[in-house]
Structure 1
Amino acid sequence: MSVSINLDCPVCGSSTLKVRTSQKIGMLVTQAKCYCPSCLSVSDISAEITRTYTANWNERPEIKRINKPLKQVDPNQLDFFDENNPIFRLSTI
């Protein structure tokens, strides 16, 4: 997996730092040698992931039954798959 981080050159301020070599030091730490094509300086960079956030996705069963965009769904329309719907109860008798 590659990660792109935009850094400015500390010597000339150019935003075109390029990675020359990189190595993974640990699970969350990477070291890289970067060079600036504008002023030809070389920089040593260490990057560490300090905190990670992940989303908690919950699936909603009613969404699986909709076959059109949510903006076009009428919330007042009867749900034929609802067990409390009288049409559903009549058809299962």
Structure 2
Amino acid sequence: MRAENVDVVVIGMGPGREDVATRLAKAGLTVVGVEARLVGGECPYYACVPTKMMIRAADALGEARRVSELAGSAQVHADWAPVAARIRVDATDN
């Protein structure tokens, strides 16, 4: 292992600390980020992003169910497998 000189060590790389590390690096400091799990914290992997994907799908389903009120008839059913697949691809490390 080689020794490195760094100006700042950022412990935990959630969204807030990731932003701080980026700003410090842009200011010319040498920055090292340390994270025990996934960089970005819970939001991209477990919380905000997957939740928003599910909410968007539910909103689209709700709008589709209103078609009969607005412009005719439609049969709509929920198939959450594609939503779950999209979450696995876009919002997790799997």
Q: TM-score, normalised by structure 1?
A: 0.22
Question: Between Structure 1 and Structure 2, which shows a larger proportion of strand residues?
Answer: 1
**Greater relative contact order structure (CA < 8 Å, 6+ sep):** 2
Q: Which has the larger radius of gyration?
A: 1
TM-score of the pair, normalised by structure 2: 0.22
